[in-house]
Structure 1
C-alpha cells in the first residue's frame, strides 16, 4: 500500500511538473503548438470582452465568479494602445512558426492569423480614427441597447440584477467615447451631415423615452414577467433600472448629443472617405480587409458595371417570359412590381405577425429542398423574428444572429418590416435563402458545430468575403436546386444579386470616384427597383461602413469561379455535396485561402 502511495505521489508530482512546464511554455515562451497559442490568445481576447462571453453563453455558469454579465467593454485610448501592443507581439510569435513543421490545417491557420493580425495593426497605425463610432446603423449608442435587449440573458434573479449593473456602466463608456471623438476632431475627421442628423435624432429619442417607451425597460419588464420571483422583487428591480436609466444612461447619451450638436457645423460636406486624411489609402486597406483580395477600387467598380449589365439582361428575359413588355429600364419595371399590391401584404395591425409566420414556413420548406445538396446539416435550429422597432427605421432589410455555442439560443434571422414595400412576396424566399437556409445559418452553425476545427478557427476570424459571399452564392444555388417556386421568385433572386452587384459600383463610386450620396441613390434606384426607403438606408450604410458591401459579390464570384474550376478539372468525379463540404469544413477563411483549399482538393484527385 505504501509503495502504491509513493508511486501515486511521484506521478502526481510529475503531472504537476509537466503542467507547470506547459503553462510556462504557453504564456512566457513561443508555445510548441500554434493551435494552443491561438486558443490562448483567443481566450484572452474573449475574457477582455464581457459582451462576447455573454454572447457565446458557455461562460454563464461561471458568472458568479467571473461576473462578466455585469460588465461592458470600455473603449478607452489606453485599452486601444494595449491591444495594439499585443497585436505586435502576436504577429512576431506567429511568424516564428516554421510552416514546414505544421500540419496542413495549421498552415491554413497560420496564414489566416497573420493576415488578420497584419490588417488590425495597419488599421491602428495608419487609420485609427477613420471610422464613425456614432452612426445611424451600428453606432455605439444603438449597439449597447441592442446588446442588452437581444443578448443579455434574464433567466433568474441574479441575471436581472446583472442587467441593471451592466446598464449602469453606459455612462462611463460614453465618457470614454467622448474622449475618442475629441481625438478624432483633432485630425479634422467628421462624419457627413446626414449621419449627424440621424444620430442626433436617435439620441434625442433615447433620452426622451419614458420608462414605458424605453426598450431597455420594455424588454427587462417582459423578461421579468417570466421569472418565478415575488411581485415585491420585480417592483424593486424595475425601480432600480428606472433610476439607473435616468442617472447613468441618459446623462451619458446627453454628453454625446452635446458633442454632435456642437460639431454639427464641422460635418463632412462630402460622402466618400476619399475626403478624409489619407482617405484613398484607407479605402484601399478596407477593400483588402473585406474582400481578402488585391483588387483595386477601379477593378471592383468595373466588375460591378459588368455584372449589373449581365443580370439586367437576364431579368429582361424573365419579364418577357412572364408576358410583360420590356419598354422601360429594368429598375423601373422592378419598382412597379415592388409597388404592385398583388405582391404586398395588407397593412393591418397583425401584418408583422403574419409575415414572420410566412418566413418561418419558408425556412422549413428550404430545409427540405436543400437536402440533396449537402452532406451535413446544422443541429442548431433557426427562427425568424422582426427587427426591433427602435432600430428598424435605419436597419438593413435583414440580418442573422448566430446560435450560442451551448445550444441555449437558436440562430435568428431578423427581418425588417418597417416599410411595407420592404416585403414584396417575390423577394421573401431570396432573403430566406440568404439569411437562413442554406445561407448564413448553414455556414455559421456548421462552423460552430464542427469538432474538427480548433477554437481559433471556429471563433477567431471573421470575413464577410466568405460569410456574405456564401450567403449570396446560396441564393443562386437555390435557383439551381429549384427552390424558387416560380419566375417571380427567380426575379427576386436576381433583384438581390443586382443589388449586390450595385454595391460594387456605388461603394467604389462614392469612396473612390467621389460620387455624392444622391448620385449613388439615383443609380441604385434606376438599376434595382428597390424602394426609396431601402435605397436610402443602404447607401447611407455604405458611407459609414466603406468597403464592406463589396465583399458579398466578390465572395460569391470567387466561390462560383472555384466551383466551375473544380467541375472542369474533375468532370464526372465532381460531387456538389462534396464541394459544399470542402468549402464549409474549413470554417471562415479569406478567399485566397479558400482558393488554395479547392486547388488542393482538385490536385488530390
Structure 2
C-alpha cells in the first residue's frame, strides 16, 4: 500500500482550515421573497453585490491563511505580489495550546461572518465554497476542549519527519527566497521548543504517547542528526543556489556558508533538544492501546473521522458497516476470479509489469488514461529519490503539491528503501502521478478561479481519488494478465479496507492487541506476531490515517456503482471522472448532493 503523506505538505504547519470536513448539513438559506417584475433588477443587483462581497471575503481568508506560516506561504504561491501580498511571514507558525484554543474563538467569528451571506444569492461555485466552509467550521468546533488530543509527532507523518523535506524542496526563485529560507530555517529550534512544551502539557494531562510510540519518534528524529556539510539539506541548498543567475560567485559562497552555520546552530540542536525532551517524558504515557482508552478518546475519534474523511455517513457505526460491506464485495469478486481461473494464483509470485523505470511508467500511464479521463493542460514533473539517510523515516512515495500559480511544475519522490522493494512501482506512480495526485492537482489548479479552494486540503478526497485510480491502473495494458490485474486490485482494496476496519475497532471500540490478532488470524490467516504488532502500533499511533485512503475510495466506488446502476448503458466513465474532478477537493458530505444533481442531469440529457 502506498502512503502519500506529502501530497498536502505545504499545510503541515497550519492548524486553521486545512483538514477534511465534517458530514454536516448546510444551514438553510435565508428566505428571499419572490421579486416582482418591477423589483427584479434591484434583486439582481443585490445578488451581484453579495457575490462580489463573498469573493472579497474568500480572498481575505486566503491571504490570512497562507500568512500563518512562511512554509505554507511559499509552497502556496510563487508570486505573492500577484495576490497583493508583500510581506513574507518569517515564522513556522504558533504551535501552542493557547493558540489552539484561540482558533476555536476564531472559528466562531468566521462562522458569524460566513452566515451573513445568503447562499441563494451566490453563484453555483460560490455556494459550493460556502458549503465547504460551513461544513469545515462545524466539524472543527466539535474538537473544542480536546486540543491536547492532537499529536504533531508520529514516526512517518509527524512534523519532525516532514518538515526537513519541505525545506529541501523550498524553491529559490530569487535572492529574497534565499534570505527567507535561511530566516525560516533558523527558527526551527524555537518551533520545536513550542511543540515540546505542548507535549509536556499532554503529559500533565495524562495524554502523552506510549513508550513504543515515543521510541518510533526518537528513531525518526535520529535520522536528522546530520553533519551539516554532508547533509541532504546542504546538498539541495547548494544546487538551488547554483541555479540562481542573479547572484555572484562570491554571494553564492557566502550563502552556502551561512546555510551550514544555520544547520549547525539551529537545525541539529532542534532535533537534539526534541530527542532529549521526548526521552525525558517517556514513562508518562501509560496508554498502550488506542484512543478509546482515553477519557474523551471515542469522542475525539468521532471528530477525527469526520475531519479526516468528510464521510457522508452520519456515524462511525454506519461507516463501519459500509466498510464491511465493501470488503465483502471485494472478497466475493476476488473469489469469482479465482473460481473462473484457478491457475491465476500461480502468477502471484512471478508477475511483473511491462515498464519498470519511472519515466517509462509515467509516459505509459499518461497515454493510456486519455480514454477515461479529461485532458490536462501542459505540465511537467521531476522524479526524485528520498535521501538514503531518510529512507527509514519516510513513506514509500509522495507527491508535493505545487504553488497555485505554478501548477506546471510537479515533484514526485520515491523511497528506495529495501522494505518497499516489493511495492509495485507501476501502481505507486499511478497513485502519485497519472491519473493520481499529480493529475488531479494539475487539473483542479488549472481550472479553479478561487484561490481559497485551491489551498484547502481534503485528505479523503485526494487520497481516495489516488487509491481509486491506483486500483484502476491494474486493469490497464501494463503487461499483466487481465485477470491477475483485477485480482491484485481487489486484493489491494481488501488490505486497505482491513486497516480501516481495524482502525475503528482499535481506536473506537477499544480492541487490544490480542483481539486484533484473533481477528486477523481467524478471518485472514495472519498469525505472525511481528505483522500484528506492526499493524496494531501503526493504527494506535496514527488514528484515521488509513481511513483517509479507504473511506475516500469507498465513497467514490459507491457513487460510481450508483451511477452505473441508474444510468445503465448511458453511463460514461469519463463523464463520471470529469464530475469528480470538476467538483474538486471537498468533503463527501458536500460532494454527495452535487453527485445527485449531476446524476439527475445525466438522466435528463441522455
TM-score by length of 2: 0.80
The corresponding residue for 1:43 is: 63
2:483 is the counterpart of 1:466:
no
**Structure 1 partner of 2:557:** 560
Distance 1:484 1:539, change over 3 A: farther
Task: Give the greater-gyration-radius structure (CA).
Answer: 1
2:393 equivalent to 1:376: no
Taking a change above 3 Å as real, the CA distance of residues 493 and 325 of structure 1, as seen in their structure-2 partners, is closer
Counterpart selection for 2:572 from 557, 570, 575: 575
Q: Which residue of 1 aligns with 2:159?
A: 140
Decide which structure has greater helix share. Answer: 1
Matches within 5 A, 1:408-423: 410-419=409-418, 421-423=420-422
Identify unmatched segments of 5+ residues in structure 1. 1-28, 327-332, 346-353
Cα distance in 2 between the residues matched to 1:462 and 1:560: 21
How do 1:197-596 and structure 2 match up within 5 A?
A: 197-207=215-225, 209-227=226-244, 232-292=250-310, 293-316=312-335, 318=337, 324=343, 337=348, 340=349, 342=350, 358-407=357-406, 410-419=409-418, 421-424=420-423, 427-451=424-448, 453-459=449-455, 461-479=456-474, 485-486=480-481, 487-516=483-512, 520=516, 527=524, 540-596=537-593
Match of residue 351 from structure 1: none
- Residue equivalent to 2:30: none
- 2: CA distance, partners of 1:322 / 1:222: 53
- Distance in 2 (CA, whole Å) between partners of 1:100 and 1:61 is 33
Hey, what's the Cα distance between the residues in 1 that align with 2:209 and 2:313?
A: 27
For structure 1, which segment, 62-71 or 406-415, has the greater mean C-alpha deviation from structure 2 after superposition? Answer: 62-71
User: CA offset at residue 232 of structure 1?
Assistant: 4.3
Per-residue deviation, 1:260: 1.0
- Secondary structure of the residue aligned to 1:37 is helix
Structure 1 residue 148: Cα displacement: 0.7
Structure 2 regions of 5+ residues with no counterpart? Answer: 1-48
1:598 is the counterpart of 2:591: no
Distance 1:434 1:474 in 2: 7
Q: Distance in 1 between matches of 2:371 and 2:486?
A: 20
TM-score, normalised with respect to structure 1: 0.80
Quote the offset at 1:393 in angstroms: 1.4
Count of matched residue positions in the alignment of Structure 1 and Structure 2: 551
Structure with larger RCO (C-alpha < 8 A, sep 6+): 2
Q: Could you tell me how far 1:193 is from its partner in structure 2?
A: 1.8
Q: Give the deviation of 1:273 after TM superposition.
A: 0.9
Distance 1:527 1:542 in 2: 18
1:188 is matched with 206
Tell me what 1:122 maps to.
142
Which residue number in structure 2 is paired with residue 20 of structure 1?
none
Pick from 90, 98, 109 the counterpart of residue 110 of structure 2: 90
2:3 aligned residue: none
Contact 2:51 2:122 in 1 (8 A): no
Q: CA RMSD in A?
A: 3.6
Give the superposition deviation at 1:289: 1.8
Residue of structure 1 equivalent to 2:5:
none
Give how far 1:166 is off. Answer: 1.8
